[in-house]
Amino acid sequence: ARLVIDRALGAGGSTDPLIQLQAAIVSMRLGDFQAAKVRLSESRSLWKTNPPPAVWFHYAAKVAATTDDPDREMLLLAAATETHPESAVMLNNLAAAHLKREDYESAKDAAEKGVALAPELPQLRRNLSAALEGLSRAERKATKAPSRS
């Protein structure tokens, strides 16, 4: 895959945002996250008149999460859901990222929006369930008065 992408980039594909995105994905899968970041940045800069597709946001957020940059991951996922509000997958990824941060209310909101768009996606239902369980635990913890003897 690396050889094919290198050939495509060498044959003039370096100005094609989709080829740059594919190069980023190959780099990411090979564990070269720095190269993936560079290619994602190159790809993003080539989308001048339209926003990048949802798949660009998916991989950019995945690279951010994998390289321990949770703030960037959240920014990318929030931008993805604003740019592509019809993407249940992006809403699911946003819900999962909120769950990692234990932001159960935001996770619930994202998962509910996703379920409304694609009720057939089990990941959305799992994330919604996890968010509701987290909210319930937090509520029980908050209302539990310390016992004094």
- DSSP letter at 50? S
Q: What is the pLDDT of residue 146?
A: 66
CB 79 within 8 A of CB 57: yes
Rounded CA-CA distance 74/20 in Å is 23
- DSSP SS3 for 143: helix
**Predicted model pTM:** 0.83
Q: What is the pLDDT of residue 122?
A: 97
**Quick check: 116 pLDDT over 60?**
yes
Report, as an integer, the average pLDDT of 116-143.
Answer: 95
**Quick check: 145 pLDDT over 60?**
no
- DSSP letter at 13? G
- Compare 143 and 37 and report the one with higher pLDDT: 37
pLDDT tens-digit profile of 25-45? 999 999 999 999 999 999 999
Nearest CA to 58 among 80, 31, 83? Answer: 80
